[in-house]
Structure 1
Amino acid sequence: MRRWTRKLCILAVLGGFLFGGIKLYQGLAGVADAYLSNLDEKVNVVRAGSNKSHIEEEFTPPDEVKPDTEYEKVVTVKNDTDTDCYVRVIAETWDSAVHVTMDVNTKDWSEKGEDGYYYYQHILGPGEETEPIIRAVRTHDEAVPFEVIVYEETVQAAGYDSPIEAFASIKGK
């Protein structure tokens, strides 16, 4: 058997310290890396909301248009989505030369604005229907066939205090 010399013993002890020190450093470095770094990931899908609505109308066109006669024409807008929205409507006769007046509901709808729209004064909830904007159409002293054109738009109500503010936001004003 070989005898260990003093130099060999010192080298063996130093080698053991060196090996142990390297292992200790690697262990502490791993802990430090874990302590100083962190990775977490969450995927958030953001979808743009959508508004879908349609016009509901109760109207039976007459066989013959008579002067000074009122015809029942009930027009509403229905919200087909699960999003609260504001509504605006344009309601006009096709030919401005034909003198016809519409019974417009100004309790729940605004007066006709400078932009030509009537604004519904309430938020229209999911699946809800507006109060009628038009209830009837009246001819005057002439018996001329007429058409009433109704066009509607909706915008999400979230974040806005009025329909005018909400619609102005989509124009960038």
Structure 2
Amino acid sequence: MKQKKKIIHFLWGVPVFIICLVIGSTVAYAAMMVREEKANLFQIGNLQTKVEEVFTEPVTMLPNKPVEKKVTIANIGTVNQFVRVMLHPEIRLESNSSIQLLPSKIGEEILLDLNNIDWKLGEDGYYYYLKALRTGESNRTENLFTQVKLKNELGKKYHGATFSFLIKVEAINCAKFAYRDVWWQGVTPNSGELKVIDSQLAKQID
């Protein structure tokens, strides 16, 4: 008779133990959830650039007559950054409600006194600034170029055409190899001008 009572007490104690485990697991899970949902507050760096230039737009441009146009890039944000620039010159001729785009390639129809010391042209068509553009007082690049002119031997079809010049700038922070991930899809160049550019930028990552 005594043996049966012991068995009954033992069996009754099993569900209680299981309930305790369930409650304990629930409490532990809830505590974990609270810790995981705790917000981490921090300030995000501000990545901003600005094209700055010294330029007085002329009424007309004559072939082989240079026009002053000093172009630099300024870091107006709060983080160090690498920059690259794409130049888009365009010469268009409008007549009889039609528009004709004329050849306007840099180095051929368009002549610039490019700074090849602080800047380098990559195979992708971008001009890369070879230094990290820091925040603070020295937050501007060296001039990419200081003047622009049209080639002297342009044909008569260029007479009366309109010349425009778009400067597109891209910036990326100086975190370790972020420029490779964003600009080159994570690929490390192993030849050409991009390899030279990469070797310069890699020395200046934060």
TM-score, normalised via structure 2 length: 0.55
Matched, 1:136 2:153: no
Report the CA distance shift for 1:134/1:106 in structure 2 as closer, same or farther (over 3 A): same
The question of whether the paired residues in 2 share the 8 Å contact of 1:91 and 1:148 is answered with yes
Distance 2:145 2:163 in 1: 15
Which amino acid in the other structure matches residue 119 of structure 2?
A: W
Contiguous gaps of at least 5 residues in structure 1: 1-40, 161-165
- Aligned alpha-carbon RMSD (Å): 2.2
What is the letter of the counterpart of residue 124 of structure 1?
Answer: L
**Structure with max Cα Rg:** 1
Matched length: 127
The percent identity for this pair of structures is: 30
Whichever structure has more helix as a proportion of its residues is 2
Give, as a single letter, the amino acid of the residue that structure 1 aligns with 2:147.
Answer: A
Task: Work out which of the residue numbers 89, 92, 104 in structure 2 matches 1:93.
Answer: 89
Match of 1:81 in 2: 77
Large movers: runs of 4+ above 4 Å = none
Alpha-carbon separation, structure 2, partners of 1:48 and 1:146: 40
SS at match of 2:176: coil
- Give the Cα separation in 2 of the matches to 1:106 and 1:140: 20
State whether structure 2 residue 173 is matched by structure 1 residue 156: yes
Shift of 1:69: 0.7
Q: In the alignment, does 2:37 pair up with 1:44?
A: no
Could you list the runs of 5+ residues in structure 2 that have no partner in the other structure? Answer: 1-34, 92-101, 187-206
Question: Scaled by the length of structure 1, what TM-score is found?
Answer: 0.65
Aligned-partner Cα distance in 1 for 2:122–2:85 = 10
2:126 counterpart of 1:117: yes
Q: CA deviation at 1:43?
A: 5.8
**Cα displacement (A) at 1:47:** 4.6
Contact 2:45 2:78 in 1 (8 A): no
